[in-house]
Structure 1
Amino acid sequence: MESPLFKTIMSSFPTGVSVVTALDGEGNPRGLTCSAVCSVSLEPAMLLVCIGKASGTLPVLRERGTFVVNFLAENGGDVAYACASRTADKFAGLPWRPSERAHGAPILADHAVAYAECTVHELVDAGDHLVVIAKVEDGAAFEARHPLVHARGRLAQLHKSAAQAA
């Protein structure tokens, strides 16, 4: 299968948008935008995140062994674009607070519908990505907010009626 066709096929399926964050050894926030996140297990609580091997944030996750998945709210479009960029300081002007369970990794509470503080459990090689399987140590959900979704190369808000039906 050719890469462009595969990308077209996969982008036809809407996904939630998240930002995976970590704090490097010097105390600098790192992060990447990710739509490849899903639950793995309820007992114990586990999720997985697929991260490109070329990601500048991946070495920090491997070194620290902890991270936060920030599931973005409909007001998180600018955050998604900033963290998807290659800019040096993706967190300039972005409000965040340090996690307690993930070595201070940024929690983007102002722009999230939920977040999960995670500890790396296993890394699985998968082509040009690593599948990071993690135990969820803590987190929170903000039910009054609606999630940001991604489909066909665009960010979109989940309509209020669809969010209420879920």
Structure 2
Amino acid sequence: MRTERLDAPQLLALAEELAQLLTDTVHDGASIGFLAPLDRAAAVAWWRERADGVDAGRLAVWAARDGGRVLGTVTLAFADKPNSRHRAELVKLMVHRDARGQGLGRALLTVAEDAAVAAGITLLHLDTETDSTAERLYDSAGWTRAGVIPDYAASPAGVLRPTTLYYKKLGAGVHAPTR
């Protein structure tokens, strides 16, 4: 399996494969911002819309592929305000059902954390559905729970669920990031 950071043209070229991963993740019940059933065309469009953010440096997207098939992805969303350029949000960590339980989620998380450090990011944050399998990953990877917000987002089935906020300090001090 190979994990690579995607530039905008690569993301556009892989939009169909990325959409398949997104629909699989949503249809399996992961609360990542979409309701089920997620239309494939809508998933492709969503990924294509990310290309501008990647091109502008606001997003960094990695895809894990086995051959041509995308089995996982993770994204860092960089803050754009001058007082918050030391932090980034970890978003859309997804692993295809067929690849779960093999360490891919941990590997993608490590790739994102290492890239954040290399970019001068000293603080990462994320939110995830409370009591989800993702929580176990973040807990075991040294992330700190900041709290729980009730009824934060709807599950793919449309049921309001609580969300746990996490953060991870990557280094000391605040300095200008290099992306």
Structure having the higher strand fraction is 1
Higher relative contact order (CA 8 A, sep 6+): 1
More helix by share: 2
Q: TM-score, normalised by structure 1?
A: 0.28
